[in-house]
Amino acid sequence: MRLVIPSDGELGEPTMRFLASCGVKVNRPNSRRYTGSIPSLPGIDVLFQRTADITTKVEEGSAEMGITGLDRMMEYRHDDDAVIPVMEDLGFGGCDYVLAVPDSWLDVTSVDDLADLALEFHERGRQLRIATKYPRLLRRYLFERGINYFTLVPASGTLEAAPIAGYADLIADLSATGTTLRENRLKTLDGGTILTSQACLIANPSALASCPDDLELARSFTEMLEAHLRADPYYRITANVQGRTAEDVSAMILARPEIAGIQGPTVARVFSVEEEDWYAVSLLIRKNRLLDVVSHLRECGGVDIAAAQLSYLFKGESQAFAGFMDRVDALKGQDAYHA
């Protein structure tokens, strides 16, 4: 199976760090090599490409899976059935695709105001000019809001200077914090967030469905990412608690059910040569309740309290991959119907 990931840019290093944290570290001999491997998942060939090209590579079948920005996928895919997001949020690369106008436009604070302005421009015989790198996303967004009079100015470099330079009236651009916009005397509009984006995992369902081995590799890869992300909010906490029976210890822990573990405590007898009636308690808890749980365990007589970060948390099945397979099965049904 071929996996294509960003070779550089804002998603380059973050993607490599993310995959390493998931236990699927990519082995890339040097930065000039555009191929790599994942030692923990033999059979996956890694290809390095520009982020802007990844959606196209997956859509045309040059790779079965890829990691790119959701914004890039939405802009560059031409067939919604040829490229499907398997996981829409990998937890990094977050940004918003927003409309921003000059600060001097005091009367324009919302998208509704922009619609009125576009109409005024049209009545004066000119079009509102918007500089953007994502014309397809922007055009769809504007049409859906009844804004029909505008001209898109394609741009590949820095957009913030477009209004000052005079080749556009406003811009639609990606922004993570809004700092660059503010420094260039631009403001975002209320209701002007076109898309909230982040890194996502995408796949070509037809290409994967044609090879059972590739499909199994895709499932394993997806499960590693999903289980790691699911584990992030949790700690496994253990303690030794003295009590007459396991039921008594369980009752003490469950006296505060909101911090008694995701599905309740696991209680097991501790076999000690010195004292009897000790039980090991294990809880799966959210990180933000850690100190509350420690205090509760102490009130129950708990000692030797330890907390450990989870690396993975697996469910009965990979929910992300099950959703992807539903799409694959639906496409197979469509193909059978047309045949």
The DSSP code sequence of 120-156 is: HHHHTT--EEEEES-HHHHHHHHHHTT---EEEEE-S
Tens digits of per-residue pLDDT, 65-103?
999 999 999 999 998 889 999 999 999 999 999 999 999
Q: What is the mean pLDDT of the chain?
A: 92
Q: Is the pLDDT of residue 43 over 60?
A: yes
User: What is the reported pLDDT for 338?
Assistant: 47
Tens digits of per-residue pLDDT, 23-35?
999 998 887 889 9
What's the CATH number of domain 234-309, 3.30.70.120, 3.40.228.10, 3.40.47.10, 3.40.50.300? 3.30.70.120
Question: In angstroms, rounded to a whole number, what is the distance separating the alpha carbons of residues 42 and 213?
Answer: 12
Question: In angstroms, rounded to a whole number, what is the distance separating the alpha carbons of residues 313 and 325?
Answer: 21
Q: What is the pTM of this model?
A: 0.88
Q: Please name the CATH architecture into which domain 95-196 falls.
A: 3-Layer(aba) Sandwich (3.40)
Residues 6 or more apart from 242 whose CB is under 8 A from it? 275, 277, 278, 279, 301
Question: In angstroms, rounded to a whole number, what is the distance separating the alpha carbons of residues 265 and 280?
Answer: 10
From-to residues of CATH 3.30.70.120 in the chain? 234-309
Tens digits of per-residue pLDDT, 143-187?
999 999 999 998 877 899 999 989 999 999 999 888 999 999 999
From-to residues of CATH 3.40.190.10 in the chain? 2-92+198-230+318-333, 95-196
Q: Is the pLDDT of residue 337 over 60?
A: no
Tens digits of per-residue pLDDT, 234-280?
999 999 999 999 999 999 999 999 999 888 999 999 887 567 789 99
User: What is the reported pLDDT for 333?
Assistant: 66
Tens digits of per-residue pLDDT, 295-307?
999 999 999 999 9
CATH number of 2-92+198-230+318-333: 3.40.190.10
Where do the H-state alpha helices sit in 161-301? 162-165, 179-183, 205-209, 212-231, 246-254, 290-299
User: What is the reported pLDDT for 156?
Assistant: 77
